[in-house]
């Protein structure tokens, strides 16, 4: 005996049988991974994101080294222009900051004429890009 289900149109006042067949839907559901791990990983990534601050200094005397070093100890990227300083004083400042950068496992590089960049750990410097950006920045001043 073959069983056929027919649908009834119940919206009309007198239900009338329809020729439409009722087909059972597949009830299989794929396993779903718990979302807690996904959200936990997302939170972990958001917490690991660190915004870096860039400080630009144009020291005029050796005594400003301490303030510059404090910026480095706060994990700030420091850009230095020695245009307002005599060469022998600028060398002393670079020597001092080389020690500060060493203490934080960072890096110091010359990126232009009288321009240096000091970076904390985990900051990579692309010299050609950095140089063009710095030159453009100082051209606006």
Q: How far is CA 43 from the centre of its chain?
A: 14
Domain 52-140: CATH class, spelled out? alpha beta
User: Does the pLDDT of residue 44 top 80, yes or no?
Assistant: no
Which residues, 6 or more positions from 78, have their beta carbon under 8 angstroms from its beta carbon?
A: 54, 55, 56, 57, 68, 71, 72, 97, 117, 118, 119
Domain residue limits, the chain? 52-140
Alpha helices (H) in 35-126, listed in sequence order = 35-48, 65-73, 87-103
**Mean pLDDT in the chain?**
74
Each residue's pLDDT tens digit, 87-107? 999 999 999 999 999 999 999
Greatest Cα pair distance, the chain, in angstroms, is: 106
Top-confidence residue, 137 or 65: 65
Look at residue 46 in the predicted model and tell me its pLDDT.
47
């Amino acid at each position: 005996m073959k069983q056929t289900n027919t649908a009834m149109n119940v919206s009309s006042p007198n239900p009338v049988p329809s020729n439409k067949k009722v087909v059972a839907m597949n009830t299989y559901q794929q396993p779903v991974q718990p979302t807690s791990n996904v959200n936990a990983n997302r939170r972990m990534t958001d917490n690991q994101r660190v915004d870096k601050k860039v400080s630009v200094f144009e020291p005029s005397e050796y005594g400003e080294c301490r303030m510059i070093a404090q910026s480095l100890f706060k994990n700030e990227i420091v850009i230095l222009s020695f245009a307002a300083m005599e060469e022998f004083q600028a060398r002393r400042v670079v020597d001092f900051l080389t020690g500060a950068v060493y203490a934080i496992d960072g890096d110091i590089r010359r990126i232009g004429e009288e321009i240096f960049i000091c970076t904390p750990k985990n900051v990579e410097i692309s010299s050609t890009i950095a140089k063009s950006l710095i030159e453009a920045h100082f051209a606006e001043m």
